[in-house]
A and B are shown apart, each in its own frame.
Chain A
């Protein structure tokens, strides 16, 4: 069926699958590996990753990046965005990647400011 053609390569063509079902299992294996890495890092918490980078631990940055990687493959391969037309891809993804970072930026910056006010003000919050 022409309407259900699938693009069968992931990792920018590095890994090509013979059928859609094979690709699904391949993506599952990849997602499982990423999740396992996350869990192992979360349990052992290596000392050298606990240094701060941009106000957050390096370990937390790694977790967030790995989460985005997982989100990409769930959306692209399980939700078939990879097979959609460019216009639909853009309609779905662009609002999210514009609005969400904007929201994060504003609220986290504000939270950091409030923390500073509470931390350095004369009022004690520990009573």
Chain B
């Protein structure tokens, strides 16, 4: 017996039907995405918390991410991440085209578009690794004070940043390695910066045209540059040399910036990576004809949902780390 529309509606929630018109697997993928979206928003909002807490001294993204492949020494803020964004959006499009081809049971097209999606995702993860490499390596180096403030150096005449390697003098010192046989508390030794605080400070005092740029921002959002006298005063409070960024020190400014950068883009990068792996599995399943035999390509649709979600998160990461 055929049910009328009204009867169907009444029976919708009484079992045996799909009230949301979506299969079990698709619903579970949506539940996962909603909870993962809340996880990411937790991360991004805590980043916002730290940023508003240090609103007058937060690093300026345009000065941090300035590299582009094969353009050495050219200041290119934003271009590279913009390219990464386009790559990810494009791989999202090939994914949705694969889903569409799946609806038409077109195996050849699904295979082709899935392959393009995987390539796009892999290129994106590689780009992120390159971005991390530049961030970790650093460019100019800086001094850190006892209070954790970063002191950067600029040329007073041109206003351009100066790398510590360009003016640090070399003071020959003897440094004997502490051996495990000499003390029971010995735990090992990390790598040393290329210059000592004294070498940088002496080089600074010898170069009349150098001044210190502090972490603090003025009302226009530019970092406040100290006068030569203030700088000479300030350099005495330096306790360490910082080159590049890690989870403890960060030459670009507030160390929380590096922590959140590593954590959030790392967590997102891990999502992209696992997305590529899942896409690969589905891709091989498509090739061996699993879904052709099953009669539908819903698995492609489900993995597609995950893949678009990764793209969606990147849109927010891009805004909050690079634009705002």
A103 touches B20 (CB 8 A): no
Bitwise, A58-88 to B at CB < 8 A (1) or not (0) is 0010011001001100110111000011011
Q: Is the CB of B22 within 8 A of A42?
A: no
Which residue numbers of A lie inside 8 Å of B, CB to CB?
A: 1, 3-4, 20-21, 24-25, 28, 31-32, 35, 38-39, 42-43, 50, 57, 60, 63-64, 67, 70-71, 74-75, 77-79, 84-85, 87-88, 91-92, 95-96, 99-100, 103-104, 107-108, 110-112, 114-115, 118-119, 125-127
B149 at the interface (CB under 8 A from A): yes
Residues from chain B with Cβ under 8 Å of A119 in the complex: 56
- Collect the chain A residues with CB atoms within 8 Å of residue B100's CB: 20-21, 24
Does B89 belong to the interface (CB within 8 Å)? yes
Q: Inside 8 A of B62's CB, which chain A residues have their CB?
A: 42
Take A35-B86, A50-B221, A87-B20 as given contacts and tell me if A63 and B42 are in contact as well, using a CB distance cutoff of 8 Å. no
Are B92 and A74 within 8 A (Cβ)? yes
Q: Is B147 located at the chain interface by the 8 A CB criterion?
A: yes
> In the complex, are the beta carbons of A24 and B93 less than 8 A apart?
yes
Interface residues of B (CB under 8 A from A): 19-22, 27, 30, 33-34, 37-38, 41-42, 45-46, 48-56, 62, 77-79, 82, 85-86, 89-90, 92-93, 95-97, 100, 103, 145-147, 149, 214, 216, 220-221, 237, 304-305, 308-309, 311-312, 315-316, 318-319, 322-324
Pairwise interchain contact A92-B34, C-beta atoms closer than 8 A: yes
Contacts of A63 in B (CB 8 A): 319, 323-324
Pick the contact of A67 from B53, B311, B315 — CB < 8 Å?
Answer: B315
Interface SS, B side: helix
Other A-B pairs, 18, CB within 8 Å; known A60-B323, A60-B324, A87-B20: A24-B97, A25-B93, A43-B78, A70-B315, A71-B316, A74-B312, A75-B308, A78-B93, A91-B30, A92-B33, A103-B42, A108-B45, A115-B52, A115-B53, A118-B53, A127-B145, A127-B146, A127-B149
Q: Are A108 and B21 in contact (CB under 8 A)?
A: no
- Residues of B within 8 Å of A31, CB to CB, are 89
Q: How far is the CA of A99 from the CA of B40 in the complex (A)?
A: 12
Contacts of A87 in B (CB 8 A): 19-20
Closest to B29 in A: A79
CA distance A57 to B55 in the complex (A): 12
Taking CB atoms, residues of chain A closer than 8 Å to B51 are: 111
B contact residues around A112 at 8 Å (CB) = 52
In the complex, A46 Cα to B180 Cα: how many Å? 59
Which single member of A3, A75, A95 contacts B312 (CB below 8 Å)?
A75
Bound complex: CA A79 to CA B92 (Å) = 10
For residue A43, which residues in chain B have a CB less than 8 angstroms away from its CB? 77-78
